[in-house]
């Protein structure tokens, strides 16, 4: 099978050095395709240059191709499948070239603010994948298939699981991700918590400065590569939070935590979320909270989930995580046609 994995114009390289979501998913699909025995080409300009020693990189994007040698080269490969950013299939210039290649297309819905025109996905040749029942319902007009996303960075190979010590939270620091609730939960438990990620919302950070600068909180900053893997391995429990109206689309952190052997205590404001799709009683606990409840009530529920998750064994969590969020398994799901 010949597979092309497409980059797109972004602020990050592919795979990113630190924070980023879709870029990490695209890299995981490339790794998974290779593990599954496919011939893989990385298409685009922003693939990290050090990859060229081991990967075939074609520095071209479909939307920039009209005719000539670039189009001939794409056709000559004989692609069976392209894996791309969820916004590309509806873009006329990109779609026009893809259709001339006579191959399948698979993409994963990583955002909730993107609508697709009718007919963008047919569920057979062009397939859209969604993480949770909530996301599958949201994009139900496009015949989506539910599948847990896998994300991976360069040099982020998992180490053998070990029982950690601190609580940890990883993500972008802004109101949608609501890390202040994780800090409040840690405070209730008298536990230390490490907060890793870039500050995206300075106003949100300022509103909760007392919490972010509390003695039990360590701000790690943005991490990537081996340093990011180490963060997940050192945590006893990974704490997941979000705001009341936020719909999580991709949730890379669940797979990253479980592959490291770190159980998860997750906050959910309704059923059918990514947290419920990713976790089971052997890998973590979901605190389902009424959105009308206060921050204090939500923090108390998360604290209770942390206490439950703390009893889970790291080695058992990692064994499940390495199966549930394995790149080759994920690729084979993306590559399979219905029926």
Number of domains in the chain: 2
- 170 and 130 both lie in a single domain: no
Does this model's pTM top 0.85? yes
* pLDDT number for residue 103: 97
Q: Is 159 inside a domain boundary?
A: no
pLDDT category, 45, cuts 50, 70, 90? very high
Query: Domain limits at 16?
Result: 2-154+327-335
- 331 and 312 both lie in a single domain: no
Q: Is 217 inside a domain boundary?
A: yes
* pLDDT number for residue 143: 95
Q: Is 126 inside a domain boundary?
A: yes
Q: Is 160 inside a domain boundary?
A: no
Cis status, amide bond into 15, omega within 30 of 0: yes
Phi-psi region of 50 (alpha: psi -120 to 50; beta: other; left: phi over 0): alpha
Mean pLDDT calculated for residue range 50-61: 96
- 88 and 176 both lie in a single domain: no
CATH of the domain at 238: 3.40.50.2000
CATH of the domain at 12: 3.40.50
- 228 and 186 both lie in a single domain: yes
- 216 and 294 both lie in a single domain: yes
* pLDDT number for residue 228: 83
Which tokens is 135 given?
Answer: 């996301």
Mean pLDDT calculated for residue range 186-205: 96
> Of 37-46, 223-232, 296-305, which gets the smallest average pLDDT?
223-232
- 331 and 313 both lie in a single domain: no
Which of these, 218, 250, 214, 248, lies nearest to 235 by C-alpha position?
A: 218
pLDDT category, 155, cuts 50, 70, 90? confident
- 75 and 186 both lie in a single domain: no
pLDDT category, 255, cuts 50, 70, 90? very high
Mean pLDDT calculated for residue range 81-102: 96
The packing angle between helices 252-260 and 226-234, to 10°, is 70
Q: Is 161 inside a domain boundary?
A: no
């Amino acid at each position: 099978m010949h597979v092309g994995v497409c980059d797109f114009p972004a602020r990050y390289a592919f795979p990113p050095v630190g924070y980023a979501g879709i870029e990490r998913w695209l890299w995981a699909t490339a790794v998974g395709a290779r593990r599954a025995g496919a011939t893989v080409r990385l298409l685009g300009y922003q693939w990290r240059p050090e990859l060229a020693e081991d990967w075939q990189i074609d520095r071209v994007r479909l939307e920039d191709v009209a005719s000539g040698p670039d189009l001939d080269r794409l056709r000559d490969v004989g692609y069976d499948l392209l894996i791309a950013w969820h916004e590309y299939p509806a873009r006329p210039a990109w779609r026009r070239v893809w259709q001339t290649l006579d191959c399948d297309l698979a993409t994963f819905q990583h955002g909730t603010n993107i609508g697709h025109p009718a007919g963008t996905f047919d569920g057979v040749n062009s397939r859209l994948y969604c993480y949770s029942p909530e996301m599958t319902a949201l994009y139900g007009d496009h015949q989506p298939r539910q599948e847990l996303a896998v994300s991976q960075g360069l040099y982020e190979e998992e180490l053998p699981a070990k029982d950690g010590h601190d609580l940890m939270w990883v993500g972008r620091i802004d109101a949608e991700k609501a890390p202040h609730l994780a800090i409040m939960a840690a405070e209730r438990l008298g536990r230390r918590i490490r907060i890793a990620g870039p500050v995206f919302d300075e106003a949100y950070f300022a509103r909760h400065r007392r919490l972010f600068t509390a003695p039990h909180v360590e701000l790690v900053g943005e991490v990537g590569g081996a340093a990011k893997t180490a963060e997940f391995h050192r945590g006893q429990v990974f704490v997941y939070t979000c705001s009341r109206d936020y719909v999580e689309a991709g949730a890379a952190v669940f797979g990253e935590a479980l592959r490291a052997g770190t159980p998860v205590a997750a906050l959910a404001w309704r059923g059918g979320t990514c947290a419920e799709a990713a976790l089971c009683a052997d890998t973590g606990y979901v605190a389902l909270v009424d959105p009308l409840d206060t921050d204090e009530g939500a923090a108390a529920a998360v604290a209770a989930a942390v206490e439950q998750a703390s009893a889970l064994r790291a080695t058992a969590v990692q064994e499940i995580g390495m199966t549930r969020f394995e790149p080759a398994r994920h690729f084979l799901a993306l590559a399979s046609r219905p029926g």
